[in-house]
Amino acid sequence: MTKRETKRVEVAAGVIFRRDGRFLLGQRAPDTFYAGYWEFPGGKVEPGESPADALIRELDEELGIRVHAVRPWITREHLYEHAHVRLHFFEVADWEGELHDHVHSALSWERVEAPEVGPMLPANGPILKALRLPRWMGITHATGIGVERQLAQLDAALVGGLRLVQLREPGMAMSELRAFAVEVVKRARACGASVVVNGSPELAAEVGADGVHLSAAQLALTGQRPALEWVGASCHTREELERAAGLGLDYAVLGAVQPTATHPGQAALGWERFSELVRGLPMPVLALGGLQPADMERARAAGAHGIAAIRGSWVQS
């Protein structure tokens, strides 16, 4: 069967979390394609049915659970031998009932950091890395408040659970930036947190950071994904988001959602426009711009993976 002849199938899939943070995977039954492979629960979207409604129905039929709320997350496409599948992934935010599986050979609750079952269904493999992306990104501003004060705020935030730091210091002299970056990476690593360096893959590699964060201008000029574990970019338009997706970046940051002190003249997107811009993208997107921890639920309901923030990330000291 040629690519042109391959059947197009719309599928809804759910990331179901347990209270301890583990998520659910199911093993495909012996009489199915890719028998024995593991997947996220869900199923085919029927004609006239929205992907969200399809997921709610499928999880009732497959697992016997009642889903009260889902959050849009990411959408990925995969070309199998039998079908061209478009997978609409949702986070299952609210559900009840006991699991009674009717379609899988087995079920398993897995840790986001290190799933133990395998192999994963090919279309679902990249989802595991996306799940590892922390929900909150703290963006440094040592240039504005001083290095020592920023490091003190970083220490407090890391103790409080921050697990992703973007080192962003425009205007800082390179010698000072390198020393600051080394210190940030050391402190983050001690707490199990990741660091991405804004704008410089070379500096990121030199100081042992986990990745690089590209500006929108760099994104426009980048022809190939930098060879680091985590690569993301700042975006302001759908075109930029699609370019980030086309380069295979791990995440994007989109804003400003609300007015910010950092960019006082920039018009805010608002949540409705944010939701429109991120719909159907294959990688997670963090919301940026005037946001606080209290905005997390609203952000995720709009399709954001989480939040990136400067002032909202740091205890004021």
Distance, CA of 299 to CA of 259 (rounded, Å):
15
User: What is the average per-residue pLDDT within 52-75?
Assistant: 96
Q: What is the pTM of this model?
A: 0.94
Residue 205 pLDDT exceeds 60:
yes
Residues 131/132/136/138 CA torsion (nearest 10 deg) = -150
Distance, CA of 207 to CA of 179 (rounded, Å):
9
Residue 82 — very low, low, confident or very high, per pLDDT cuts 50/70/90? confident
Residue 125 pLDDT exceeds 90:
no
What are the distances in angstroms from CA 250 to CA 84, 119, 213, 244, 266?
23, 21, 10, 8, 26
DSSP secondary structure letter of residue 267: P
For residue 265, what pLDDT is reported? 67
State the helix-helix crossing angle for 270-278 and 238-246, rounded to 10 degrees: 30
The pairing of beta strand 23-27 with beta strand 38-39: antiparallel
Residue 29 — very low, low, confident or very high, per pLDDT cuts 50/70/90? very high
